[in-house]
């Protein structure tokens, strides 16, 4: 593959709802451009971009795949371009893939099924691209399906995404069948044969056009109106009634996409290749690519500087994805913003200040690897065996800068995992360390309260994929369980008890005698005081008494949970000059604890968390009812940042939140999201105490 200057490189991310045809479209584009010699199918598990074993099994994308191809073999009368295609997953559990793909691209091509229309995943992809300030394009797919309806989908797009939606390729439908496709920029119609080859045909007659829900002249008027909004001179020309030239339409849509005021719509059938060549044309003509005038902001020390997209500038590149490959080693996906990245070059990692040499560079077409010597500004390349991670900026030592990091969704589905085979715990730790570098929507940490290793993911499918990777890639099987809840125990009244340990045996005996007052207090740790008068208990035994109590509060008497909010005051006791010892007083203190706590009205405390959940306005009532079922206290509601969503703030017991992410996704079809943080402890309702004791007492006291 030859080297291309930055103006001839386009980085395009395919995003959209699960099942909307992203991978099939990638397959069609690659086949049309000669990057692959067969047209694979997702159902058959033989596509270029879904090559992972997990993806083949699930028949959907799990990871973002890179496929690089050249347009020269497509047979289009256009400049030769290099396109780096990023096929991103659509399932919400794999949202990190969509985020990293859109962050690295120049344009987000959002697929919408002609059969099922706009879905939640369509909105998520559109919102992600908008937040990252990326141009957008809609592609209506699956038009070969007998139930597909392009006109309905276009109406839906205009209704839900506003007047920026601008059709540029539309199908001509007669007797419920597509007879041709009209390119509204060229004002030409094309028919497609069985092999997907285009043949120019007559524009639809007035009779056919009249039967279409969208008349061709009306669509042309809509395109012209959208283009007029991009430039004052074009607006004046439109207002005067003059028609735009083809170049004016292309330049106007190009500039409108770049400024975010135009979102073009095209349509294809990936299975029959109909419309794929026109989509390629629009990608080449309309999608913005990096130019000499384009700049991105980066941080240099305390200053914000602008980096120009030029090979002559010092190197500035961003690691947007990391893979732990069992054969190749660590693979770092890098977007070059300025300068030239060359294998063996000395670079600085701006994140940690470390220096190293650039590893071997490769270009990918799915899993196929092509060695490359270098990658210039505007390009995407993969470096192997480098000590860099996702969100790192690598740069020339002469100009060390940091590019803004991508914000990934936070994990919210928590499960406790342990090795299926005893002795594999160290394998899990080392494997998870590599997976955490690869996927920033994962979290793996020890819960010190329950002594469990907690794996946090975005959902059940995400969890299954991680467990599958641990088994297939790293050879360790794990078991996932619902995490234990870190309850606490405390007392509600003051008591005074005696603890006396006396044991006679041959030689020295054992003797320790203490009187201790236990009372409630506000503290997470045991507070110990001594108020002994007259030397009833010598001072040298005070530490032993405290140590005995500290050991006891680790496991309470109700269900074996740590005891908090307790103050112990040593007030009296006695000793024997020969038989007393530190061990004897330690045992005496534990006996006082075991006798006193049951008399002090012990209770269980449960952890309460602060919940902020955003749901569509129509689901607000259902969510309020659900929170009430989960013993939550709703504190307030406000309109969320995103249109059509309401934020509900509540306090909910953590024991009621284990499956909340699954319920929220089901209730809102994936539109809802939440944050949940541990807040404090409160007394567990009495009718639930017996169930908790039955569940945990044997485990904690084992």
In this model, does residue 206 exceed pLDDT 70? no
What ranges make up the beta strands (E) of 17-162?
65-70, 82-87, 107-113, 136-141
Beta bridge partners of 515: 498, 572
Class at the top of the CATH hierarchy for domain 489-600: alpha beta
Separation of CA 10 from chain center = 25
Q: What is the dihedral of CA 23, 29, 32, 34, to 10 degrees?
A: -90
User: Which residues is 31 bridged to in the sheet?
Assistant: none
Q: What is the pLDDT of residues 477-497, one digit of tens each?
A: 999 999 999 999 999 999 999
Q: Summarize pLDDT for 626-654 with one digit per residue, the tens.
A: 999 999 999 999 998 888 899 999 999 99
pLDDT value for 689: 93
HSE of 382, CA atoms in CB hemisphere, 13 A:
26
Residue 213 has pLDDT above 60, yes or no: no
Please enumerate in sequence order all residues whose Cβ is within 8 A of that of 657, keeping only pairs 6 or more positions apart, or say none: 609, 611, 630, 676
Going by pLDDT thresholds of 50, 70 and 90, the confidence category of residue 208 is low
- The dihedral built from the CA positions of residue 684, 686, 687 and 690, taken in this order, carries a sign that is positive
Class of domain 6-285: alpha beta
For residue 77, the model assigns a pLDDT of 64
What is the per-residue pLDDT across 79-132, written as a single tens digit (0 to 9) for each?
A: 788 999 999 999 999 999 999 999 999 999 999 999 999 999 999 999 999 999
pLDDT at 509: 83
Name the band, by pLDDT with cuts 50, 70 and 90, for residue 660.
very high
Handedness of CA 252, 256, 262, 267 (dihedral sign): positive
What distance in Å separates the CA atoms of residue 698 and residue 250, rounded to the nearest whole number? 73
The fourth-level CATH superfamily of domain 413-481 is Elongation Factor G (Translational Gtpase), domain 3 (3.30.70.870)
Q: Which helix (H) or strand (E) holds 207?
A: helix 206-211
Instruction: Return d(Cα 635, Cα 141) in angstroms, integer.
Output: 44
- Within 13 Å and on the Cβ side, how many CA atoms surround 529? 11
Q: Which of 246-255, 378-387, 500-509, 588-597 has the lowest mean pLDDT?
A: 500-509
Which architecture, in CATH terms, is 298-403?
A: Beta Barrel (2.40)
At 84 the pLDDT is 95
Kindly list the domain boundaries of the chain, sorted by start residue. Answer: 6-285, 298-403, 413-481, 489-600, 605-699
313-343 CB burial, b ≥16 within 10 A, e <16:
bbbbbbbbbbbbeeeeebbbbbbbbbbbbbb
In sequence order, what are the beta bridge partners of 614? 647, 673
Residue 214 pLDDT level (bands cut at 50, 70, 90) = low
Predicted pLDDT at 207: 60
**Residue 579: predicted pLDDT:** 86
Q: Say what the pLDDT of residue 270 is.
A: 93
**pLDDT of 209 strictly over 60:** no
| Helices 232-239 & 246-259 angle (0-180, nearest 10) | 130
pLDDT of 421 higher than 60: yes
Percent of the chain with pLDDT over 90: 69
pLDDT recorded at residue 292:
58
- Helix (DSSP H) and strand (DSSP E) numbers for the chain: 17, 37
Q: Can you point out the beta strands (E) in 211-360?
A: 263-267, 295-300, 303-308, 316-325, 329-338, 341-342, 346-349, 355-357
CB within 8 A of 81, min separation 6: which ones? 4, 8, 9, 10, 70, 71, 284
* Residue carrying structure tokens 């299926």: 420
The length of the chain, given as a count of residues: 702
Residues with Cβ < 8 Å from 125, sequence gap 6 or more?
A: 15, 16, 17, 90, 98, 102, 108, 110
Residues 135-144: what's their mean pLDDT?
95
Select from 222, 267, 280 the least CA-distant residue to 249. 222
Distance CA 462, CA 410 (A): 13
Instruction: Summarize the chain as % helix, strand, coil (round to 5).
Output: 30, 35, 35
Residue 506 is predicted with a pLDDT of: 62
Q: What is the overall mean pLDDT for the chain?
A: 90
654, two tokens: 């953590």
Return the pLDDT at 533.
85
> How high is the pLDDT of residue 586?
95
Q: Are strands 346-349 and 355-357 parallel, antiparallel or unpaired?
A: antiparallel
Of 58-67, 237-246, 572-581, the range with the highest mean pLDDT is: 58-67
Q: How far is CA 24 from the centre of its chain?
A: 23
Distance (Å, whole) CA 362 – CA 331: 10
pLDDT at 212: 58
pLDDT at 458 over 60: yes
Structure tokens at 565: 């909010």
What was the pLDDT predicted at 211? 56
Closest CA to 343 of 378, 376, 297, 374: 374
230-259 pLDDT per residue, tens: 888 888 888 888 888 899 999 999 999 988
Q: What values do phi and psi take at 524, rounded to 5?
A: -80, -20
Q: Give the percent of the chain with pLDDT over 70.
A: 97
What count of other Cβ atoms lies within 10 Å of the Cβ of residue 425? 13
- Tell me how far apart the alpha carbons of residues 54 and 584 are, in angstroms, rounded to a whole number: 61
Query: CB-hemisphere CA count at 13 Å for 98?
Result: 28
CA atoms of 333 and 391, how far apart (whole Å): 10
Q: Tell me if 103 sits within 8 A of 7, measured CB to CB.
A: no
Backbone φ/ψ region at 139: left (φ over 0), alpha (ψ -120 to 50), beta: beta
Q: Give pLDDT, residue 376.
A: 92
* Residue with tokens 């141009």, as numbered in its chain: 135
pLDDT digits (tens, 9 = 90+) for 549-571: 999 999 999 998 999 999 999 99
Give residue for tokens 């690691």.
319
Closest alpha carbon to 352 in 404, 391, 324, 322:
391
DSSP β-bridge partners for residue 200 = 190
The reported pTM is 0.88
Of 695, 498, 541, the closest CA to residue 606 belongs to: 695
pLDDT for the residue numbered 580: 87
pLDDT surpassing 90 at residue 406: yes
Check pLDDT > 80 for residue 700.
no
Q: Which two tokens stand for residue 6?
A: 């930055």
CB of 316 closer than 8 Å to CB of 386: no
Among candidates 621, 669, 642, 576, which has minimal Cα distance to 130?
642
For 605-699, the fitting CATH number among 3.40.630.10, 3.30.70.240, 3.40.1210.10, 3.30.70.260 is 3.30.70.240
Return the exposure string of 573-604: e unless at least 16 CB atoms fall within 10 Å of the residue's CB, then b: bebeeebbbeebbbbbbbbbbebbbeebebbb
DSSP per-residue codes, 354-385: -EEE---EEEEETTEEEEESEE-TT-EEEEES
| Whether the domain at 413-481 and the domain at 605-699 fall into the same CATH topology | yes
pLDDT at 483: 92
In this structure, how many other beta carbons lie within 10 angstroms of the beta carbon of residue 22? 33
Reported as a pLDDT band with limits 50, 70 and 90, residue 6 is: confident
pLDDT at 592 over 80: yes
Is the CB of residue 592 less than 8 Å from the CB of residue 552?
Answer: no
H or E, element range at 620: helix 620-629
Q: Could you read off the pLDDT of 503-536 as tens digits, one per residue? A: 876 667 899 999 999 999 999 899 999 998 888 8
């Amino acid at each position: 593959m030859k080297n291309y200057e930055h103006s001839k490189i386009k980085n395009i991310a395919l995003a959209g709802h699960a099942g909307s045809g992203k991978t099939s479209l990638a397959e069609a584009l690659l086949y049309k451009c000669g990057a692959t010699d067969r047209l694979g199918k997702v159902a058959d598990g033989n596509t270029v971009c879904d090559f992972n074993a997990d993806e083949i099994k699930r028949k959907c994308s799990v990871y973002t795949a890179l496929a690089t191809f050249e347009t020269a073999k497509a047979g289009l009368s256009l400049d030769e371009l290099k396109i780096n295609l990023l096929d991103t997953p659509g399932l919400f559990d794999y949202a990190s893939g969509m985020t990293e793909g859109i962050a690295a691209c120049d344009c987000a091509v959002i697929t919408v099924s002609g059969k099922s229309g706009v879905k939640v995943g369509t909105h998520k992809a559109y919102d992600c691209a908008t937040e990252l300030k990326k141009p957008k394009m809609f592609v209506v797919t699956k038009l070969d399906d007998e139930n597909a309806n392009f006109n309905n989908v276009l109406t839906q797009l205009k209704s839900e995404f506003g007047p920026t939606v601008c059709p540029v390729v539309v199908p001509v439908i007669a007797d419920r069948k597509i007879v041709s496709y009209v390119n509204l920029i060229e004002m030409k119609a094309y028919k497609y044969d069985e092999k997907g080859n285009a043949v120019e045909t007559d524009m639809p007659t007035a009779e056919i056009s009249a039967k279409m829900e969208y008349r061709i002249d009306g669509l042309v008027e809509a395109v012209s109106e959208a283009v007029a909004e991009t430039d004052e001179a074009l607006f004046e020309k439109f207002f005067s009634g003059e028609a735009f030239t083809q170049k004016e339409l292309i330049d106007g849509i190009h500039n409108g996409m770049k400024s975010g005021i135009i979102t073009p719509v095209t349509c294809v059938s990936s299975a029959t290749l109909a419309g794929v060549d026109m989509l390629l044309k629009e990608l080449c003509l309309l999608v913005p690519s990096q130019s000499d005038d384009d700049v991105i902001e980066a941080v240099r020390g305390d200053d914000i500087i602008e980096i120009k997209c030029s090979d002559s500038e010092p190197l500035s590149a961003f690691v947007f994805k990391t893979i732990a490959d069992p054969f190749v080693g660590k693979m770092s996906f890098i977007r070059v913003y300025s300068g030239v990245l060359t294998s063996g070059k000395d670079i600085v990692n701006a994140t940690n200040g470390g220096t190293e040499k650039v590893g071997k560079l490769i270009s990918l077409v799915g899993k196929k690897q092509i060695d490359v010597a270098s990658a210039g500004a505007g390009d995407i390349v993969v470096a192997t065996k480098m000590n860099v991670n996702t969100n790192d900026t690598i740069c020339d030592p002469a100009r060390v800068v940091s590019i803004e990091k991508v914000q990934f969704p936070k994990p919210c589905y928590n499960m406790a995992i342990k090795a299926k085979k005893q002795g594999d715990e160290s394998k899990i730790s080392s494997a998870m360390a590599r997976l955490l570098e690869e996927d920033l929507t994962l979290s793996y940490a020890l819960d010190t309260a329950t002594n469990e290793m907690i794996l946090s993911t975005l959902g059940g499918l995400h969890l299954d994929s991680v467990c599958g990777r641990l088994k297939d890639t790293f050879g360790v099987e794990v078991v996932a369980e619902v995490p234990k809840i870190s309850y606490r125990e405390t007392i509600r009244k003051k008591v005074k008890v005696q603890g006396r340990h006396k044991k006679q045996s041959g030689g020295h005996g054992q003797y320790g005698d203490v009187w201790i007052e236990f009372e409630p207090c506000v503290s997470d740790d045991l507070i110990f005081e001594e108020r002994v008068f007259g030397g009833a208990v010598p001072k040298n035994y005070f530490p032993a008494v405290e140590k005995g109590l500290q050991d006891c509060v680790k496991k309470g008497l109700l269900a074996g949970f740590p005891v908090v909010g307790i103050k112990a005051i040593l007030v009296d006791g006695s000793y024997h000059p020969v038989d007393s010892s530190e061990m004897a007083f330690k045992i005496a203190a534990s006996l006082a604890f075991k006798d006193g706590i049951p008399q002090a009205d012990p209770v269980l405390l449960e952890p309460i968390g602060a919940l902020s959940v955003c749901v569509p306005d129509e689901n607000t009532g259902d969510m309020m009812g659900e929170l009430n079922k989960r013993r939550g206290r709703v504190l307030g509601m406000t309109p969320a940042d995103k249109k059509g969503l309401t934020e509900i703030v509540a306090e909910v017991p953590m024991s009621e939140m284990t499956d909340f992410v699954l319920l929220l996704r089901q209730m809102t079809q994936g539109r809802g999201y939440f944050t949940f943080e541990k807040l404090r402890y409160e007394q567990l309702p009495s009718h639930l105490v017996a169930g908790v004791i039955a569940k945990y007492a044997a485990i904690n006291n084992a």
